[in-house]
């Protein structure tokens, strides 16, 4: 088989390019070798700030919650509009600043300290999706909120400050850069072609079937052609909808199944709790959102094994993103893992 030469691929969602260098997979590795991540199997950790009944760092005692629990972050990155806003340069061309307000919340998926998304049963995952939807409906309706970002950082390697299974919700008064670029690109595609960008991508991927990882009647997991992270995935709805509130009951249940399947697949790649950043992109809350399709991104850093990660340094920081493992090879690896994951 002819080797694939170095080339670049365009991310249709952002306009960025990624350099693909498949031949580098054969290079020797003498770089960082991180310790294997271990998840504690206890259902309740008396030292955990997020377990039921425990006292958090600010002295607040958690309720004895029995399911999904959402609370305002004790150390939020954003303050509500009635909070004090520091003075900022307003009219200068060099030092340009602007205030940003918002709401930051924490969502505990389960009272069980060991119950990660990959270890949750169907009912628990469906409860998480329902809570995501409720948070979106509440926060997106506020006139002071322009975007709602729902995400999870799993594992110390991804900067998670607490091992208790949880995610976060940041509702901002501005549309963050990544979402803004995606919204512009999707609207432009719709205006030029009369169809949704991600629907067209999904149609092409289903026809080609080289980067599909898993699917159910409502959702498809795939490695995007333009993936940057080694086992990056994109979860797309078969029916183009712009936000969680537009999903039907079967679609929300299907999303829960897809999230459970994806996280279990990740844990099988290297037989270790797989760190990742994962999050939902939904339409901006304010203004038009032509062609925008709800989707979920997952960015896991592990590359060659449970202890070797992909670092975004050097050329990636100074020039452009680069990857060695092709999206097609990553999809094959993930599909092979699905054979060892028991269906619901």
Q: Which are the catalytic amino acids? A: 166
The tokens for 9 are 């691929």
CA-to-CA separations, 122 to 51, 111, 113, 119, 318, in angstroms, rounded: 21, 16, 17, 10, 43
Pick the closest to residue 156 from 47, 50, 29, 36 (CA basis). 36
How far is 232 from 137, CA to CA, in rounded Å?
A: 28
How far is 43 from 169, CA to CA, in rounded Å?
A: 24
Q: How many CA atoms lie within 13 A of 292 on its CB side?
A: 23
Looking at the chain, list the stretches that DSSP marks H as alpha helix, in order from N- to C-terminal side. Answer: 122-140, 177-193, 197-208, 249-269, 315-318, 327-338
- DSSP assigned state of 317: H
- 87 burial type by CB count under 10 A (0-12 exposed, 13-18 middle, 19+ buried): exposed
CA dihedral 170→176→181→184, nearest 10 degrees, is 90
Vertex 26 angle, CA 20 and 30, to 5°: 105
How, if at all, do strands 233-237 and 212-215 pair?
A: unpaired
Looking at 8-158, list the stretches that DSSP marks H as alpha helix, in order from N- to C-terminal side. Answer: 122-140
Residue with tokens 């070798």: 33
Taking 3-state DSSP, the helix, strand and coil percentages for the chain, each rounded to the nearest 5, stand at: 30, 20, 50
For the chain, give the number of residues. 344
């Amino acid at each position: 088989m002819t080797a694939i030469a170095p080339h670049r691929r365009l991310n249709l969602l952002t306009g960025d390019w990624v350099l693909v260098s498949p031949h580098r997979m054969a290079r020797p590795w003498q770089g960082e070798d991180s310790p294997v991540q271990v998840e504690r199997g206890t259902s309740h950790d008396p030292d955990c700030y997020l377990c039921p009944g425990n006292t958090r760092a600010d002295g607040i005692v958690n309720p004895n919650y029995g399911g999904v629990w959402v609370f305002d972050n004790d150390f939020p990155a954003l303050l509500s509009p009635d909070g004090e806003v520091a003075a900022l340069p307003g009219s200068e061309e060099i030092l340009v600043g602007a205030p940003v307000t918002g709401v930051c919340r924490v969502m505990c998926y389960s009272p069980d300290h060991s119950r990660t998304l990959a270890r949750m049963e169907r009912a628990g995952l469906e409860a998480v999706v329902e809570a995501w939807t409720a948070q979106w409906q509440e926060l997106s309706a506020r006139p002071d909120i322009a975007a709602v970002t729902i995400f999870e950082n799993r594992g110390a390697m991804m900067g998670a400050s607490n091992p208790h299974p949880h995610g976060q919700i940041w509702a901002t008064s501005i549309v963050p850069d990544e979402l803004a670029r995606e919204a512009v690109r999707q609207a432009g595609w719709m205006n030029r072609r009369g169809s949704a960008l991600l629907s067209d991508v999904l149609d092409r991927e289903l026809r080609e079937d080289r980067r599909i990882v898993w699917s159910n009647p409502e959702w498809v997991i795939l490695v995007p052609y333009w993936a940057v992270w080694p086992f990056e995935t994109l979860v797309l709805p078969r029916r183009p909808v712009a936000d969680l509130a537009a999903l039907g009951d079967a679609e929300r249940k299907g999303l829960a199944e897809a999230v459970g399947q994806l996280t279990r697949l990740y844990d099988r790649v290297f037989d270790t709790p797989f760190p990742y950043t994962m999050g939902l992109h939904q339409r901006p809350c304010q203004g038009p959102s032509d062609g925008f399709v709800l989707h979920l991104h997952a960015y896991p850093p592990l590359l060659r094994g449970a202890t070797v990660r992909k670092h975004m340094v050097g050329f990636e920081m100074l020039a452009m993103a680069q990857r060695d493992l092709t999206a097609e090879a990553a999809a094959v690896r993930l599909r092979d893992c699905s054979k060892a994951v028991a269906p619901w």
